[in-house]
Structures are given as C-alpha cells and as structure tokens.
Amino acid sequence: MNFDSKCVHAGQAPDPTTGAIIPPIYQTATYVLPAVGKDRGFDYTRSSNPTRQALEENLAALENGRYGVCYASGMAAVDAVMKLLKSGDHVVCSDDVYGGVARYFNQVLTAYGLEFTYVDSTEAHHVANAIRPQTRLIWLETPSNPLIKITDIAAVAKVGKDAGIPVGVDSTFATPMFLRPLELGADLVMHSTTKYLSGHNQLIGGAVVVNQPALYERLKFIQKTIGAVNSPFDAWLTLLGLKTLHLRMLRHHQSGLRIAQFLEAHSKVARVHYPGLASHPQHAIAKREMSGYGGMLSCELTGGIPAGKRLMNSVQLCQLAESLGSVETMITHPATMTHADVPTKERNARGVTDGLVRLSVGVEDADDIEQDLAQALEKC
C-alpha cells in the first residue's frame, strides 16, 4: 500500500467477530486464559493489548519499519531508549532538542552515570568528532525544537555505522508523512504521538519504531517491565487521528510555508526559521531528505523580547499554549515554556533566545492565520 492508504488501513482489519470497520477498544486489564500455560496472545494489558498492537502495527507500516512499540508519552519513549544504556555510557546529542529531553538527560540521567555531549548535528563531522570509546548512542532531533534545524540523517547514520554506534531520531515535527529516518539509515525513530500523529490535542503518547529484532525485543521487554504504556482508549484515539494524517500534514505544510513567507517579508520580523525557505541554512538537506516541510516554524522580532511578548499576548485565533502539531494554531515562548528548565546561559548559547517565538501552524484557513498575526504584529 501507498502511504495514504496505510494511514487508513495498516494494522486495522475489520473486527472478525462483528465486522466493525473501526478496531474495538479492548478496555481491559487482563484476559481469561483457555488453560494453564496457554493464552490467545494476550495475558495482561501492561504486556500487550489488541488496540495498542493495532497502533504499533500502523506506526511501523507508516515508517516502513518492522516493529512499533508504544508508550504513555513521548518522554516515556525517550526513557525506554535510554534504558538500552548503562552507567558509564556516553551519548552524542543534537544541541537543539526539546527542553524536556535536555532536562531528563541533564538532571536525571547524569545522576545514573550517563554522559552527554551536545553538538550542532547539522554538520556530520561535529557528531563524528564528539564520539568517544564509551559512546553508545547518537541522538538526533530533526527538524529540531525550537530552532527547526535540519540534520543530514544519511550522513550521520554513516558516521554511526562506521563507528558501530546506533542512531536514534526524534522525528516528531516531520512525521513519517515527510521524513522516514529508518530509510535513511537510522536504527530507531521516536515520535511523541501527542503531536501530529494523533493531531487533535486529545491525548498523551509516544512510540518507537525499529527494524532490528534484537532491538525490538529489548524495547518490548522494557515496555512490559516498566509499564509506561498508553491506555487502550488513547491508542484507539491515536488510530482515529492517523486516518487523516496525510490530509492534515499536507495542509500544515501548505499553510506553514505561506505563514513563513509572510513573516519573512514582514518589517517587524528579524529572522524566520523554516526549512521550506531558501534562506534556511539547511534548506538543501531538507529538500533532499524530506518530502514536505510541515507546519513548525520559529521567528525573532526586530523589537526583541518586548515585541515577542506583545505578539503572543495580542493574537486572537492563534492559541498561546504548550505543545504543537494539532489542528489548532498554537504560539509558544520557548524560553519561558517548553525550554524553561534549560539554563539561560546554555539556552542562549544554542540560539534559543528570550525573543524567540515558536509557531505551530494549524489547519484553519490560512487567510485567518495570517490576518491574526498581522494584527498582532501591528502592536509590536
């Protein structure tokens, strides 16, 4: 099947008992066994659940991967990947990552003996130069949060392969609609299903997709043992969202590019970060590895911090809110919201300034989004 058909059908055969076209919600904690030592493939929902299994199969198909493993949140998915490591191991990480990931790495995992080196992964040689004998994972985020940097996955995957180090990619912003890291040589891809995959701000979830059986078995063991799984109802809601992923992402892409062009031409905007713009430093990489650029962008205003605050406090259609990737357009101030726990000095060194504004362009009429931003910019 082609991608659009996979969104609708992969992992979602009609219910064999009733013919229901939508997979049932198996809202159960346990299962009655036919006999001692026998089961029907399910024994306890922490270990496995038919609704969650359908979601895992769907996500694996969308990534052109073999195995999907779902978790209670995107951060739970990141945590599962990090539990593949042990004390003394070293991770090379993109320098522009979601603030919750940086918080987890720096304030939790370092206490357990893991070490992290942050590099500008947009240049593969920076990743290669940071590798140590103890390096056991390369962690990329592309497009990154909130500077929308683009990493050449194929180039970094070669670095990892040459060094015998697995490469993981947080591809939440792009979704498998526009970017499939496994096809470019990555070993695993992670998504916060909270965002574009479910698409309607209705749940929290995460997932990892891999091709290697040994890696899958380890992640499934961690999933079962820790129990940070999404509920059957949340899995079912995610499946509903995925049925329109291809339609929504096309609209996010179309409107995202239009709004990025509008902002770049505006006199009160100093800089726009959007990979679909020719001015983006990694536009060529995005054009080569991605089939679309999505709805995420960030910008800095000529008026600095005060102007940024006035913009965010003046929008009417756009919603001042955490998160991203939903049908609603959302505007965020990374320094005080998504990246508030990143130390100021470190945040500024990475380019996440106090004047940076992040925009998740939704699926409303693009004219309305542009007009809302225009009226808000008049007050900046």
- The tens digit of pLDDT for each residue in 200-253 reads 999 999 999 999 999 999 999 999 999 999 999 999 999 999 999 999 999 999
Write 309-312 long-range contacts (CB < 8 A, 24+).
Answer: 309/333, 310/376, 310/379, 310/380, 311/357, 311/373, 311/376, 311/377, 311/379, 311/380, 312/357
Q: Is 46 a catalytic residue?
A: yes
Q: What's the rounded Cα separation, in Å, for the pair 231 and 209?
A: 19
> Quick check: is 288 catalytic?
no
Residue 195 is among the residues annotated as catalytic for this protein: yes
Which fold would CATH assign to domain 3-242?
Aspartate Aminotransferase; domain 2 (3.40.640)
pLDDT of amino acid 49: 97
The pLDDT value recorded for residue 45 is 96
Main-chain dihedrals φ then ψ at residue 220, nearest 5 degrees:
-65, -40
Q: Which of 95, 96, 152, 170 is catalytic?
A: 170
Tokens representing 360 are 């998740």
Show me where the domains of the chain are located.
Answer: 3-242, 245-377
220 given a catalytic annotation: no
List the catalytic residue out of 43, 44, 46, 287.
46
pLDDT tens for residues 366-375? 999 999 999 9
CATH superfamily label, 245-377: Aspartate Aminotransferase, domain 1 (3.90.1150.10)
Query: Which listed residue (26, 67, 71, 98) is catalytic?
Result: 98
pLDDT, tens only, 147-161: 999 999 999 999 999
Res 291: pLDDT: 98
Q: Which of 52, 180, 195, 350 is catalytic?
A: 195
Task: Record the pTM.
Answer: 0.95
Residues of the chain with pLDDT under 70: 338-339
* Burial 210-239, CB ≥16 within 10 A → b, else e: bbeeebbebbbebbeeeebbbbbebbbbbb
